[in-house]
Amino acid sequence: MTLDLESIYTDLHRNPELSYAEHRTAGVVADHLTALGLDVRTGVGGTGVVGVLANGDGPTVLLRADMDALPVQEETGLPYASTARGTDPDGNDVPVMHACGHDVHVTCLLGAVDALVADRASWAGTVVAVFQPAEELGTGAQAMVDDGLYEHAPRPDVVLGQHVSPLPAGVIGLRPGPSFAGADAVRVRIFGRGGHGSRPETTVDPVVLAASIIMRLQTVVAREIAATDTAVLTVGTVHAGTKENIIPDEATLGLSLRSYTPEVRERLLGAIRRITAGEAAAAGAPTAPEVTVRYSLAALVSDPAATDRTGAAFRAAFGDQGVTDPGLVTGSEDVPALATAAGVPLVFWLLGSEDPQKFAAAFAAGTLDRDIPSNHSPHFAPQLHPTLEHGVEALVVAAKEWLG
């Protein structure tokens, strides 16, 4: 291997960039792909990079990595921890961290391309390496498709990808069928009637109304979704007011929904609309709330037959103990857009990154949720070795299973 994976990873981790601002990251990727001899296109879907590695007649395999980071203040204490800042979509200055491990994804895909270039004699066909922007917004994959991804690169026969996770390093988490939840980001705008904090009787307080709505929304999953179904409803943001003695005119809630079926999704959305309207009416609000779905992601379904085929290759390479079914993941992904646009199967897996001994101790103590930081945590810090090497090998094994 010609690439120094650890140096690439630590550089990317020190220099994270928010969605659609991955200019430096895209430059690093494009430089490495060009040096490896690939046909490279940049600026696809904004900041996306596509590298094509042709090696004779055979199938075409698309390998995908996402590049963007999150508005999180890093608290890992690592010597290569991020101190970067950026501007979020609302114009706010925010800290930036690779708290979801996309730096691992980029590094591993670069390493896999390097390995495939060095071992051309063992395979035939075409590898399309896609480095995608804005997964955290749920729009980057579709943006690349809309910008002519499959005009810049050949249409694949299969889409393959992985996501780093707090599973033990050296373990692959693979599940056929529905794997990652569909997601909806919902904004609820609540209208009241503002006034002086000393005279609440002259107002309709949207802060109190928001509190009532928040508490009532917590009953939706518990009392309106069957115990045999899976759903999540989280109120992630609450914004209202400018001063403690002013009752504002309005408040805004930001909600995150997760579901695996259209029926459960519609039940969640219907309950939100009904509850917000009902609570507003009970409070005497002058205007009904506005409920807006800001974006939606479909559930990620790993094609069962393609997943079985890829899983058999993983077990041959890593042993039965190296592959596990992680169960349903309530996180979400926009990678299905790449497979849907091409009309081909998708296989997507979890890449373990936690210290196996630490994971085993926490599992035995029943403290995984407390002692093992997960994605989006300011403490999320993948164990570099063997995570990077294993991630490269997983992509190479999967790709070669599908190539000639």
SS3 of 75-118: CCCCCCCCCCEEECCCCCEEECECCCCHHHHHHHHHHHHHHHHH
pLDDT of residue 404: 87
The type of residue at 347 is: V
CA distance 400 to 378: 36
The secondary structure of 140-200, three-state, reads HHHHHHHCCHHHHCCCCCEEEEEEEEEEECCCEEECCEEEECEEEEEEEEEECECEECCCH
- The percentage of the chain sitting over the pLDDT mark of 90, rounded to a whole number, equals 98
Residues 6 or more apart from 84 whose CB is under 8 A from it? 14, 15, 16, 17, 95, 96, 97
As a whole number, the mean pLDDT across the chain is 97
Residue ranges of alpha helices (H) inside 248-367 are: 262-283, 304-318, 336-342, 356-365
Q: What is the DSSP letter of 329?
A: B
List pLDDT tens digits, range 336-366: 999 999 999 999 999 999 999 999 999 999 9
Which run of H or of E encompasses 245? Answer: none
Q: Is the pLDDT of residue 235 over 90?
A: yes
List pLDDT tens digits, range 170-223: 999 999 999 999 999 999 999 999 999 999 999 999 999 999 999 999 999 999
pLDDT of residue 2: 86
CA distance 95 to 86: 6
Determine the length of the chain: 404
Q: Is the pLDDT of residue 260 over 90?
A: yes
List pLDDT tens digits, range 309-345: 999 999 999 999 999 999 999 999 999 999 999 999 9
pLDDT of residue 90: 85
Q: Is the pLDDT of residue 1 over 80?
A: no
CA distance 48 to 25: 10
Q: Which residue has the tokens 């800042």?
A: 85
Q: Long-range contact list for 220-228, CB < 8 A, 24+ apart?
A: 220/268, 220/271, 220/272, 220/275, 221/268, 224/267, 224/271, 225/264, 225/267, 225/268
Claim: this prediction has a pTM higher than 0.75? yes
Cis peptide leading into 200, omega within 30 of 0?
A: no
Domain at 182-296: CATH code: 3.30.70.360
Return the bridge partners of 50, or none. 41, 130
- The percentage of the chain sitting over the pLDDT mark of 70, rounded to a whole number, equals 100
State the burial class of residue 120 (Cβ atoms within 10 Å of its Cβ: 0-12, 13-18, 19+).
exposed
In the chain, where are the structural domains located? 5-180+299-402, 182-296
Backbone angles phi, psi at 217, to 5 degrees: -65, -25
Phi-psi region of 228 (alpha: psi -120 to 50; beta: other; left: phi over 0): alpha
Tell me if domain 5-180+299-402 and domain 182-296 are identical in fold.
no
The count of other CB atoms within 10 Å of the CB of residue 92 is 9
The count of other CB atoms within 10 Å of the CB of residue 160 is 26
Q: At 17, is the pLDDT very low, low, confident or very high (cuts 50, 70, 90)?
A: very high
Chain Cα centroid distance, residue 393: 22
CA distance 252 to 260: 26
pLDDT of residue 79: 97
Q: Is the pLDDT of residue 288 over 90?
A: yes
Q: Is the pLDDT of residue 93 over 90?
A: yes
Q: Give yes or no for a contact between 199 and 245, defined as CB atoms under 8 angstroms apart.
A: no
Which run of H or of E encompasses 202? Answer: none
The superfamily CATH assigns to domain 5-180+299-402 is Zn peptidases (3.40.630.10)
CA distance 158 to 160: 6
The mean pLDDT of 238-261, rounded to a whole number, is 97
CA distance 131 to 64: 6
pLDDT of residue 121: 96
Q: Is the pLDDT of residue 13 over 90?
A: yes
